[in-house]
Amino acid sequence: MAPGPFDAIVLGAGGAGLMCAAVAGQRGRRVLIIDHGREPGAKILISGGGRCNFTNLHTAPDRYLSANPHFARSALGRYTPQDFVELVERHGIAWHEKTLGQLFCDGSAPQIVRMLLDECDAGGVTLRLGEAIRDVGHADGRFTVTTDGGAFDAPRLVIATGGPSIPKLGATGFAYDLARRFGLMVVEPRPALVPLTLPPGEALFHSLAGVATPVVARCGGARFGEAALFTHRGLSGPAILQVSSYWRHGQAIGIDFLPCRDAGWLVAAKRSAPRTTLRRLLGDTLPDRLAATLAEQLGVAATLADTRDAVLADGEKRLRDWTFLPNGTEGFAKAEVTVGGIATDGLSQRDLSATRVPGLYAIGEAVDVTGWLGGYNFQWAWASGWAAGEAL
Ligand code: FDA
């Protein structure tokens, strides 16, 4: 006998889908979740270095990228980081703030998945895992989902299958194909929060693989003060991951290697330590190998006393806005999230329903809303899942 009946089917057992199903289930809706993966919350399990950076206290719409920068305001305003913290505390999960408002489990990420599954249990949610979706039909106001395991139907369908970042964890572009079939537009998906690659010509920097330093990284109008890390292929580290979400092919990245030094530092150093060299001076502020590479690139080998003020001022200018021209990113295989996705102009800001397809919803990373690094993406998953779950 076919299981059911169901009031809603949620496609995807990630953070957004689990939250949505739990909320709707606890409101008395009969909810089915279908996922082709065997493990619910696969990305939660590996997030935040295994401790899940589950939210950010500084969550605000301006920390999200979207073609409509106001779209996320309603959902984020109605389900806040504090709401999620209360849920976490209700489940006895200890947490701490690491830095910049980022909240992590003291224990480990599986606690968050266990919490969401317990919430789903409390709502009587049915989970079907490890089932590939063969077809999704829509007729007479009902959605029919056919999987390896059978056919299931409901008057409401939630697309929560995320974006294509990290395919080896089961990520696909399924959400976009499905959305298009229902007449929704898709904003070009691009890898985001992803390392940038540098062309072979930047060999000197490639040789710095493993060196990290605090910087301010800039791309267009976006600026982030955090660490940058040189890699064998180019640039990574939080500051670079942040600007990567804004980066487009052909655009330059600017890096300030001296964020903690006052303007005019080099010329002032010439007065206080005339016998030192640029390399040694930079070595007081930057890792030694990086200091050597930058001094070499600037072509300043003499002591500061023997270097003209204008040359030092010019050098400082470059050190404060060192330009890299990346030739690409490490792609979806390494991207923490996807920028772009199901266009927000076909969705309600309040409950994430499709304005032209009654009963259809899209939530989480599948939607064209992408957060900064640091817990913002999970907060969007919870908030959008909650908003849809309240409406189902
Ligand atoms: P998510 O991708 O989590 O879930 C989608 C589900 O749909 C998956 O279970 C998948 O198997 C399923 N699915 C996909 N295609 C399907 C198909 N065709 N048929 C059936 N099922 C299908 N964010 C943050 O805020 N803090 C953090 O610490 C981290 N850390 C982090 C680390 C790493 C390595 C990654 C890759 C990502 C993060 N993120 C993060 C980002 C965060 O993981 C991401 O934003 C959320 O998981 C998105 O939640 P969703 O539920 O929308 O999609």
**Which pLDDT tens digit goes with each residue over 172-217?**
999 999 999 999 999 999 999 999 999 988 867 778 999 999 999 9
- Closest ligand 1 atom, CA of 13? 9
C-beta separation of 265 from 309 below 8 A:
no
The pTM assigned to this predicted structure is 0.97
Alpha-carbon distance 108 to 43, whole Å?
13
Q: Has residue 289 got a pLDDT over 90? A: yes
Look-up of token digits 């929060």: 193
**pLDDT, average across residues 290-312:** 95
Span from the CA of 296 to the centroid of ligand 1 (angstroms) = 43
Tell me the pLDDT of the chain averaged across its residues: 96
Choose among 231, 38, 192: nearest CA to 129: 38
Q: pLDDT category, 380, cuts 50, 70, 90?
A: very high
Distance 75 CA to ligand 1 centre (A): 19
- Sign of dihedral through CA atoms 342, 348, 353, 354? negative
Residue predicted with more confidence, 200 or 286: 286
CB count, 10 Å around CB of 355?
11
Tokens of 336: 């923490």
Instruction: Tokens for 119, please give them.
Output: 């919430």
Contact in structure between 11 and 161 (CB atoms under 8 Å): yes
Residue nearest to atom 53 of ligand 1 (CA): 162
Arithmetic mean of pLDDT, 108-124: 98
CA-CA distance, 357 to 354, in Å (whole number)? 5
Nearest residue (by CA) to ligand 1, atom 48, is 365
Cα distance between residue 280 and residue 286, in whole Å: 10
Q: State in Å: Cα 382 to ligand 1 middle.
A: 12
What six digits make up the tokens of 383?
């908030």
Residue to substitute in 23, 47, 53, 380 for testing ligand 1 pocket (most ligand atoms within 8 angstroms of CB): 47
Q: Which two tokens stand for residue 20?
A: 């949505």
Report which ligand 1 atom has the smallest distance to the Cα of 163.
2
How high is the pLDDT of residue 203?
A: 67
> Residue ranges per domain, the chain?
8-191+336-391, 196-329
196-329 adopts what CATH topology?
A: Elongation Factor Tu (Ef-tu); domain 3 (2.40.30)
For tokens 């001022």, the residue is 313
Please provide the size of the chain in residues. 392
Question: pLDDT band at 96, cuts 50/70/90?
Answer: very high
Ligand 1 atom closest to Cα of 131?
20
For residue 158, report the distance from its CA to the centre of ligand 1, in Å: 15
Can you list the alpha helix ranges (DSSP code H) found in 166-306? 174-181, 203-206, 238-244, 265-272, 278-283, 288-298
- 1 pLDDT band, cuts 50/70/90, is very low
Count Cα neighbours of 13 within 13 Å in the Cβ-side half-sphere: 27
Residue 87: what residue type?
A: L
Flag whether pLDDT at 156 surpasses 80.
Answer: yes
**pLDDT value of residue 4:** 77
Report which protein residue has its CA nearest ligand 1's atom 46. 378
Q: How far apart are CA 163 and CA 336, in angstroms?
A: 10
Ligand 1 pocket, CB under 6 A: 11-17, 35-37, 42-43, 46-48, 52-53, 133, 160-162, 165-166, 170-172, 174, 336-337, 364-366, 375-378, 381
Helices (H), 93-183: 110-122, 174-181
Ligand 1: centre distance to CA 46 (Å)? 10
Q: Please determine, for residue 287, whether its predicted confidence score (pLDDT) is greater than 60.
A: yes
| Pocket perturbation via mutation, ligand 1, pick of 9, 10, 116, 336 by most ligand atoms within 8 A of CB | 336
Q: What distance in angstroms lies between residue 212's CA and the mean position of ligand 1's atoms?
A: 28
Q: What residues does 277 pair with on adjacent strands?
A: 303
Q: DSSP alpha helices (H): ranges in 123-187?
A: 174-181
Share of the chain above pLDDT 90, in %: 97
Pocket probe mutation, ligand 1, options 127, 377, 379, max atoms within 8 Å of Cβ: 377
d(CA 300, CA 291): 12
Question: How far is 211 from 293, CA to CA, in rounded Å?
Answer: 11
| Strands annotated E in 75-221 | 95-97, 102-105, 126-129, 133-139, 142-147, 150-154, 156-159, 186-192, 196-197, 212-219
Q: Does 104 have pLDDT greater than 60? A: yes
Ligand 1 atom index nearest CA of 170? 11
Q: Give, using CA atoms, the residue closest to atom 36 of ligand 1.
A: 336
Cβ distance 343 to 184 under 8 Å?
yes
Q: Which distant-in-sequence residues (6+ apart) come within 8 Å of 179 by Cβ?
A: 159, 185, 186, 342, 362, 366
136-175 as b/e: b if 16+ CB within 10 A: beeeeeebebbbeeeebbbbbbbbbbbbbbbeeebbebbb
Q: Tell me the sheet residues that pair with 56.
A: 102
CA angle 188, 189, 190 (to 5 degrees): 115
* Nearest-CA residue for atom 31 of ligand 1: 47
First to last CA, the chain: 25
196-329 and 8-191+336-391 share a CATH fold: no
**Residue carrying structure tokens 């800039």:** 218
Q: If 0-12 CB within 10 Å is exposed, 13-18 middle and 19+ buried, where does residue 110 land?
A: middle
Q: What is the pLDDT of residue 200?
A: 87
In which band, very low, low, confident or very high, does the pLDDT at 151 lie, cut at 50, 70 and 90? very high
Instruction: Identify the CATH number of the domain defined by range 8-191+336-391.
Output: 3.50.50.60
